[in-house]
Each structure stands twice: as structure tokens, then as C-alpha cells.
Structure 1
Amino acid sequence: MLGFASSLGQLHKAVQVKHMEIKEIAPSQMSTNGVHEQPKTKLPMITVITPAYNEEAIISKNLQRLCDYMERFENDYRWEILIVNDGSKDKTAKLADAFAQERKEVRVIHHAFNRNLGGALRTGFANALGDYIIVMDLDLSYAPEHIETMMKKITDTGADIVVASPYMPGGKNTKVPKFRLLLSKVVNRFMRLTANSDIHTFTSMVRVYRSDFLRQLNLKSNTYSIMPEIIYKSLILRGHVEEIPAHLDWSFQEQAVGRTSSIRIFKGILAGLMSGFIFRPYAFFMFTGFLLLLVSMYLITWIFINTIGIIPELAVGETFFDDRFSRAVAEAFNRRPHSFIVGGVTLIVSLQFLGIGFLSLQNKRYFDELFHINTTNYRNLLNLQLGQNTDKKDDLHA
């Protein structure tokens, strides 16, 4: 009897387990025809951010062009367009809202006042829903076709950032004012040297980012300098930055009647120079210090050689060499006092610049280390919170 009861109990448990397995599978993974199906995974999402400031002349037409282009990605990606109206004083806000009402993929965020490019991008980054974040200039001076090339590059290489670069080999510029183009190339070359990087274009706004990497950077700039700031902080974190050859085409600028550029050229150039200084501040101090040191060494060497040459001219009266050498130095000073003054001053100033250079080098390394540590801690905190949220969801469904 005991053996029979035990067997009956085991059979009852087995039936319960089997019933639970069937119950779990039936609602979620069984189709209407009884065939087992795998749950569908969501497609990755792209957010295209377009800052807008006084763009009433082009906003409707270019948004339509951008939407038409993004529709070709619907089999591979979900997508949205996020317009950041940066305190426009014309009809940009009204036109953007009207366009968003007709397209469910388009959202608009309004700034009550102008916060400049950096502020607009930071707002866009904070509100983007995509796994990939693409920034496009609303004038489409970089054609929408760059999006496909950048997406292919970031997925093929596993990069964190891909920059559309008109200045790398294969890049192209059309109808950009010569003076503006020259200044832009000089500033980007300058930043490339100071950053000690292979990146050709630091100022291009058109890029694609992995959103999880971008949100680690803790961006602060409200101006155009946010573009090199992103690159700078990415390099500190050993981020993987790639470029694609791009075509910067200003042909449509002449047709956009009533449109004013949101980027002030000289402010952009100044921001680029300051960004180059931030990349390697010690290099400027050390270069200046070594240059002044060379000047002072030349003058001091000239003084020494002339002093030695004066010694035989002196009357033989002193027994000791140091007495004759002192008289020779005094005579050299009487003949060329400016050499002593300039040589001494440049030597002192060069040592000061070199000292500041070494201190700034130490400070930069300290900052880089702290930024890296804090970013790592922040990332680990986000991952922990994400894991806790996932556990809570699992408990709710259990």
C-alpha cells in the first residue's frame, strides 16, 4: 500500500509539472494553428536629431525629404526624428509642430530661449529614444544618404562614434566660402595635432553615436565647442571613433532666401582653438618654454664666447683667473648690456613656462584618470539599476 501511494503521488506531481509547462507555453509561444513560434525581437531604433533655429525657409521641405529617406530603413530599424527648436523667433516652431502632427515618427521639443548648438544637442541627447543617435543639420548640407554609410560603418566596425568628414581623403566640399573653408581646415588640422589623433574632422556636426556610450560623456558645453568636447571625452574613455568620407555641399545655401546661419564662423573658430588648447594644454606651455630657452641659451653662449675672447685683451695685472674673468664679464656687459638683460629675462620666463607646462601635464593626467574612474562608476551604476529593473519585471511576470 505504501509503495502504491508513493507511486501515485509521484504521478500526480509529474502531471502537475507537465500541466505547468503546457500552461507557460500555450499563451506566449503557440500560434493559432498549434505550431511552436519564437517570440519576435524588436528592431533596433534610430533617433535623428535636427537642431533648428530660425529655419522657416527650409524646415518643411527638408523634414519631408529626411522622412522619405528614413522610410527605406523600416525593414531593419525603427526610427524617429527629434526636432529641437532652439528658441526660434520666426515661424519655425509653428511649422515644426504642424509637420509633427502629420507624422507619428516626428517629435518636437521647444526651448523658450536660444541655448546655442550645445544646449540644443544636449536636450536632444537626453530625450532621444534610439539605440543609435544621428545628428543632422537641418539645411541638409550633408545629404541624407550619409546616414546609410554611417550606419554601415558603425555596425561593421563596432565603433562608438562615426563622423561624417569632408576633410579626410575622399571627402569633398562644394561652394563653401573659401575663407570659411580655409579657417575650418586650419582649426581641424590644429586640433588633430594637439589631440595626437588620426581624426580629420573635429567640428562636423553630422555623426552617429551609440546612445549608451554617448550618455556616459557628461557633456557640459552650450556652444559649438560641444563637437570637439565629445571627441575629447571619447578619447579619454578610449572610445572607438571612425570617420567616413563626406560631401559638404552648400549649393542650397544660396537658394534659402531669408535663412540665417545658426553658426557664427568666428565664434566657431575661437571655440575650435580653445578646444585644441584643452586637448593638450601642456604642449603650448612647453613649446613656448623650449622656444624661449633656446633664445636664452643662444644669448648666454654668445656672452660666454665673447667673455673668453676679451680675457687676452686685458692688461696682465691680476694673478688669479677668476679676477680676470670677472673683469672680462664686466667689459662684455659694458659693450653689450642688452644681451645680458634679454638673455636673463628669457631664461627666467622660459623656466616659468616649462614649470607651468609640467604642472598642466600632471593636472591633465589627473583629470583624465578621475573622469575615467567616475564614468566607469556611473556606467556600473546604470547597469546595476538596469539589472534591478529587469529582476522586478521578472518577479512581476513570475
Structure 2
Amino acid sequence: MNISVVIPLLNEHESLHELYDWIAQVMQSNRFSYEVIFIDDGSTDTSWNIISELSQSHPEVKGIRFSRNYGKSQALHAGFAKASGDVIITMDADLQDNPEEIPELYNMIVNDNYDLISGWKKKRYDSVISKNLPSKLFNWAARKTSGVKLHDFNCGLKSYKNEVIKTIDVHGEMHRYIPLLAKNAGYSNIGEKVVQHQARKYGETKFGIDRFIHGFLDLITIWFISHFAKRPMHLFGALGGIMLTIGFGFSVYLGIDKMFLNPHGRLITQRPQFYIALTTMILGTQFFVAGFLGELILRSKPNRIRYNIKNELNLKESL
């Protein structure tokens, strides 16, 4: 098996036949051996029926159906677990990603020995105000925070070595940061390719402006995970130490001032420095406790099931 095409989707029944036919034409014209894995993330339309029909007519079509909507990251996680290709291509199901890009994405992994290639939709057909400008701001922040120099973190069109997708753990809404997850896992040979972006042909976008808010929050999360996931005490202990040092310094100052410099002045509890010292020492203690709890959780966390699969088509477990 040379290529696995992993396609998460939600209510995209209008585009599925056209998308598959396009992918098949590209694969066959390039004589690729391939599989197409559709992950139905809780669609309420006839998407699963279409995937079932395609799988019956085309054995290379695989299907995974979630019992409800779990999100794109969980859909990719399920698809990655089943993918058996040497090279994995991810793309969206709305026809905004062009399957004609697949051969070059494949060659950049196989011939140029990249671990991961991320698409860059340099020219976009989205709304400038609602999507383009927030996307540029988000990508700028992601580059500065992560150190991964990509122009378009959120492009769904990417290619990977098989070992990369079998190593990284995509969950929550971390699909935007797969290149950073790969980098943290030791796969630093990450490239970028300008890809064609097409106007949406059917339906409406499933993502609103709130995805960028969630994206920035996830960026903070993944920054923390990148630097302190293995040792949370390094962060919380440092913050706790700073707070306790400030509080202790104010306490010493108040004690010296009251005992030697101004013994007949105001009561210590009437001075603002007392409350600064009290607050910072309490915060410092809490940071230390948070660090200890983080260390304990890391050492005892169980493996959690993040989604429930309702149906599968033409699939075997991939190692």
C-alpha cells in the first residue's frame, strides 16, 4: 500500500462522489496503489450512506463512522490508526483541497525525504474579514510561539511518513498543530508546499470565528505541553518560588520596619505591604501544590477513550 488518503468529514454528502472520482482519477493516472479512508464525524445527512455505497463498489474505500460529532482531531486520530500506506495524505471533504496536489506531496515525502509536508493556501477564496485576516493573525502567533516556520498551520492538505502519524497523538482540537506535535516527537524535517485553494462548491463552512479563539487557547496549551508536559513542576515550581520570594521579602521588610525603624507606627495589618506579602505567599504555595499534582497526574493517568466508532467498512487494524 503506497498512499492512504485520510478524509474527515461532517455533512458533506453533496461532494463525496465527486471527491472520490477526482482522487481515483489522480491515483490511477499516476499508477499509485492507494486507499481512501472517510471518517464520518457524526453526520446527520446521507454522508454515511454514500460512503457505504462507495465502499461496496470500490474496495479501496474504507469508512469509519462515529456515534456522534467528536471533532476533526478525533476523526484524524481514528483515520491515522487505520491507515496502512507508506505515505499518508490528509485533506478536507468540501472540494476546497485539490487532489491534483497529491503526486507532488507524495514525491516530497518519498524522494526529498521530508517527514511532513504542510500545504499553504497562499491565495484563498474565503471571506477576508471572517477568515483571511483572523487566519493570518493566528498563523503569525503560531509561528512565533512554536518556532515552526509555516505560513498555514490550519491547511487540511498535508502529507506524512507513516511513522509520523503512528507516533503523534492528535486529540482535543490539536489538528491545527500537527506539525508542532511532529516536531516535538523528533520529526524536524518539515516542509511546506503552496497548494491551490478552491472556492467551496457545496454547502457551508462548519467553522466559525470561534475556531480562532479556540485555536489561540490551544496554542497556549501546546506551548505548555511542549515545554513542561514531562515536568510541570519546572513551571509551577518556578512561579511558586518567585511568589514566595516576593512575599518573604515584603514580610522581612515589614518586620524590620516595625521592630527597628518605626516601632510606634501603624499596625502591620494596616499596611498594604502586608496584604501583598500574604497574597503572594498564598499564590506561591498554590503554584507549588499545582506542580506536585501535575507530577502525580502524569504518573498515574489512564488511557482514555476519546470517541466511539459506530461502524467500519473494509477496515482491518493497522499496526
TM norm structure 2: 0.69
User: 1-side partners of 2:39 and 2:295: how far apart?
Assistant: 39
User: 2-side partners of 1:192 and 1:356: how far apart?
Assistant: 32
Q: Structure 1 residues 213, 324: closer, same or farther in 2, change over 3 A?
A: closer
Higher relative contact order (CA 8 A, sep 6+): 2
* Corresponding pairs, count: 293
User: Cα RMSD (Å) of the superposition?
Assistant: 4.4
User: 2-side partners of 1:175 and 1:267: how far apart?
Assistant: 15
Higher normalized helix content (fraction of residues): 1
Letter in 1 for 2:173: Y
Q: Deviations over 1:30-61 (max 9, x none)?
A: xxxxxxxxxxxxxx611111122211222222
Report the Cα offset of residue 346 of structure 1: 6.2
User: 2-side partners of 1:159 and 1:70: how far apart?
Assistant: 21
| Residue matched to 2:125 | 174
Q: Does 1:252 align with 2:199?
A: yes
Letter in 2 for 1:175: D
Report the Cα offset of residue 134 of structure 1: 0.6
Q: Does 1:116 align with 2:71?
A: yes
Give 5+ residue unaligned stretches, structure 1: 1-43, 309-321, 368-385, 387-398
Q: Structure 1 residues 113, 324: closer, same or farther in 2, change over 3 A?
A: closer
Report the Cα offset of residue 285 of structure 1: 6.0
Report the Cα offset of residue 208 of structure 1: 1.0
Aligned with 1:252: secondary structure? Answer: coil
Q: Structure 1 residues 178, 160: closer, same or farther in 2, change over 3 A?
A: same
C-alpha contact 2:154 2:176 (8 A) present in aligned 1: yes
| Residue matched to 2:174 | 225
User: 2-side partners of 1:355 and 1:172: how far apart?
Assistant: 48
C-alpha contact 2:120 2:192 (8 A) present in aligned 1: yes
Once the two structures are superposed, the pairs formed by residues 99-110 of structure 1 within 5 Å of their partners are: 99-110=54-65
Letter in 1 for 2:41: D
Q: Deviations over 1:211-260 (max 9, x none)?
A: 1332133x362x432442x44442333113413243473x533x42xx24
User: 2-side partners of 1:352 and 1:91: how far apart?
Assistant: 55
User: 1-side partners of 2:14 and 2:138: how far apart?
Assistant: 30
C-alpha contact 1:188 1:272 (8 A) present in aligned 2: no
Give 5+ residue unaligned stretches, structure 2: 300-318
Q: Structure 1 residues 91, 188: closer, same or farther in 2, change over 3 A?
A: same
C-alpha contact 2:9 2:93 (8 A) present in aligned 1: yes
Once the two structures are superposed, the pairs formed by residues 196-215 of structure 1 within 5 Å of their partners are: 196-215=147-166
C-alpha contact 1:47 1:134 (8 A) present in aligned 2: yes
Letter in 2 for 1:51: P
Letter in 1 for 2:141: F
C-alpha contact 1:49 1:135 (8 A) present in aligned 2: yes
Letter in 2 for 1:52: L
Aligned with 2:124: secondary structure? Answer: strand
- 1:68 corresponds, among 17, 21, 25, to 25
User: 1-side partners of 2:286 and 2:139: how far apart?
Assistant: 26
| Residue matched to 2:83 | 128
Q: Structure 1 residues 349, 186: closer, same or farther in 2, change over 3 A?
A: farther
- 1:261 corresponds, among 195, 202, 205, to 205
| Residue matched to 1:237 | 185
C-alpha contact 2:179 2:190 (8 A) present in aligned 1: no
Identity of aligned residues (%): 18
User: 2-side partners of 1:356 and 1:172: how far apart?
Assistant: 49
Q: Does 1:276 align with 2:276?
A: no
| Bigger radius of gyration among the two | 1
| Residue matched to 2:13 | 56
Q: Structure 1 residues 226, 353: closer, same or farther in 2, change over 3 A?
A: farther
Report the Cα offset of residue 340 of structure 1: 2.2
